[in-house]
Homo-oligomer: A and B are copies of this chain.
Amino acid sequence: MNASIKEILEKELQFSNKKVLIRGWVTSNRGNKKIRFISINDGSTIESLQITLKGEKFDFEILDQTRLGAAVEVEGEIILTPEAKQKLELLATSFKVLKNVDLDYPIQRQEINTETLREIPHLRHRTNLFRAIMLIRSTLALEIHNYFSKKGFLYFNAPIITSNDGEGAGETFFVNDGNKEKPFFGTNKATLGVTGQLHAESYAIGFNKVYTFAPTFRAEHSNTKKHAAEFWMVEPEVAFYELKDVITLADDLLKNVIKNTIQKHEAEFKFLTENIDKNLLNKLENFVNKKLTIMDYQEALVELEKVKNIFENKDIKFGLDFGTEHERYLAEKVVNGPVAITNFPKEFKAFYMHQNEDNKTVAAFDLLVPGIGELIGGSQREVRYDKLLSRALEIGISQDELQWYLDLRRFGDSGSSGFGIGFERLVMYVTGVDNIRDVIPYPRTTGNIKM
């Protein structure tokens, strides 16, 4: 019977005394010339399966030389061992080394720090830490697709290469085919998209509920633990939704996705709780079970003002664009959990956000979480043609370039709202890992484009 180690461990009774065939990679190898215990991992879980090998049918010379990382194929019988440290083992009847590893294989039993592992992104997923992170990352992505699919959202692909700078923020990468005289797209302004939102809006008008899940790019030089030049974004956009509706959607999405992911990764969360953050599962369960706090920007200012001396940026007044220190204080100290801050000053928010009646703020929200700060940013979009156009012109976007987007407002657009989740930030939050370079397989940052 072919089975994954995850299946065998989860359905132990079903596999008791059954013959199985496993292919995987050696994670430990000990014993002597008469009995050998070799653990193998097949990537389905961070847990390894212990293989017991004894008897004359095995060449103990070969077993002895089978190094960590070697690919092997084992057949045998599953034996439940309720008294032992591991709850079951595989009593091998045959053992084949499919491919050994060279002696300079860098992944060994002793721990390697994550910084060193970043130099070998093609191998680091063979450590328990990165196995856990990447398994959880994969499940988070699938649970996001499942959530939207169940709610009747259309999965929409915005263009990646675009002539449209969504945020009006600059910091974009340019794309060319090396031909300076005659550029591929007929323009030198082809860039990599920083958001799929504007295009998603066009599809929300007609499909009602849509979302993107795609790579986005920023040529930002900030060398922080939270920023990468290439990262994945999830951007739902819903017609007829206002600010409050879309905050509810964000909260419900996160709660469902996190709850389902925890259920599917008991072993991985146990490992992360033991090794990365003792409080991890508590924190996530708190998130899932607690009602989201919603706080107006100006209320938040009052809270920050009370303790302004603890901040590096002490200039707490209307107009302040919160830094991570302020965001974390609000989530960690004021609320002790996630908090949605609403109605920010329009000056530092994007041109397309709904302008509130006070003429100073926009109907935007940032969802802040402990340990990270901003996880989600979103808004109700400005549906009034004139207000949208004048704000765009104010910040120097040309009407020509934006006419298609403005035209949505003339053609049956009665308003929509949406938000963006930085997917890697979600993975960081859920795994407790504090550096974005460790939650994406091949991170891209300033000066770093390994492999």
Which residues of A does B touch, CB under 8 Å? 4, 6, 23-25, 42-44, 69-71, 73, 98-102, 104-105, 121-123, 125-126, 131, 134-135, 137-138, 141-142, 145, 149, 152, 154-164, 172-178, 184-187, 190, 192, 199, 202-203, 205-209, 214-215, 217, 219, 221, 229-230, 232, 239-240, 383, 404-405, 407-408, 410-415, 440-442, 444, 446-451
Contact = CB atoms under 8 A, between A and B. Distances in A.
A25 B203 CA distance: 13
Given A160-B217, A177-B219, A404-B450, 13 more contacts: A4-B208, A102-B410, A102-B411, A126-B206, A134-B154, A134-B207, A138-B154, A138-B155, A157-B232, A159-B230, A159-B442, A162-B449, A214-B214
Given A156-B138, A178-B174, A449-B187, A123 B411 contact: yes
Contacts of A23: 208, 239-240
A357 to B, nearest CB: 20
Contacts of A71: 205, 239-240, 412-414
A126 B202 CA distance: 10
Given A141-B155, A157-B441, A206-B131, A412 B101 contact: yes
Contacts of A414: 71, 98-99
B441 A25 contact: no
27 contacts: A6-B152, A24-B208, A25-B412, A43-B206, A69-B411, A71-B240, A98-B414, A102-B410, A122-B407, A123-B411, A142-B149, A158-B442, A159-B449, A161-B217, A162-B449, A173-B176, A174-B176, A174-B178, A177-B219, A184-B447, A185-B448, A186-B448, A199-B441, A199-B442, A203-B441, A404-B450, A405-B451
Given A176-B173, A446-B184, A451 B159 contact: yes
Contacts of A232: 157
A441 B122 contact: no
Contacts of A206: 25, 43, 125-126, 131
A137 B155 CA distance: 8
B173 A184 contact: yes
B449 A185 contact: yes
Contacts of A155: 137-138, 141-142
B6 A440 contact: no
Contact of A240 (B69, B98, B442): B98
B162 A411 contact: no
Contacts of A446: 184-185
A444 B411 contact: no
Contacts of A209: 43
B404 A451 contact: yes
B442 A152 contact: no
A402 to B, nearest CB: 10
Contacts of A138: 154-156
Contacts of A412: 25, 69-71, 99-101, 105
